[in-house]
Amino acid sequence: MTASLIILFLNAFIASTILPAASEFLLWGIIAGNPAMLWPAIAVAGAGNTVGAVVNWALGRFLSRYSERKWYPLKPRQQGRASAWFQRFGLWSLLFAWLPVVGDPLTVVAGVLRVQLPIFVLLVAVGKTGRYVIVAMLAI
């Protein structure tokens, strides 16, 4: 694996957590610079972004009892908005975990609601990787 793909994985991972990052620009740059990297870059970005979402799920699943603490990653307003989104659309809302503002909190709420991890991973991976496919297609 090239250094650029390792950096892309890490950037996509960070972008999927509560921390701010924008992996789409890096993906775009890698593909624009080397079109042969199209599918490896999409796969790596999708994997990194999905693994970051699993970290969020674990935070919700195992640390939600500490939601009143300052260090808990979601503010009550974020958690309320994501919970409303989840209640409205159910499990299928996880296909939209890539969305700004609501996506990352949605993955934490899925953990709080104890969504089964295999279902969570499948839906989140499809949505997040699909977004990278669209971004990559625009880059070539």
Q: Retrieve residue 48's tokens.
A: 């990194």
Confidence category of residue 70, pLDDT binned at 50, 70, 90: confident
Give the C-alpha separation, 61 to 71, whole Å: 16
Q: What is the pLDDT of residues 100-114, one digit of tens each?
A: 878 888 999 899 889
Phi and psi dihedrals of 115, rounded to 5?
-60, 135
In the predicted structure, residue 31 carries a pLDDT above the cut 70: yes
Confidence category of residue 117, pLDDT binned at 50, 70, 90: very high
| 51-78: average pLDDT | 86
Give the C-alpha separation, 45 to 65, whole Å: 31
More confident position, 67 or 23: 23
Whether residue 108 contacts residue 82, with contact meaning beta carbons closer than 8 Å, is answered with yes
- Count of C-beta atoms within a 10 Å radius of residue 66: 11
User: What average pLDDT is seen over the chain?
Assistant: 90
What pTM did the predictor assign?
0.88
In the predicted structure, residue 73 carries a pLDDT above the cut 80: no
pLDDT at 68: 81
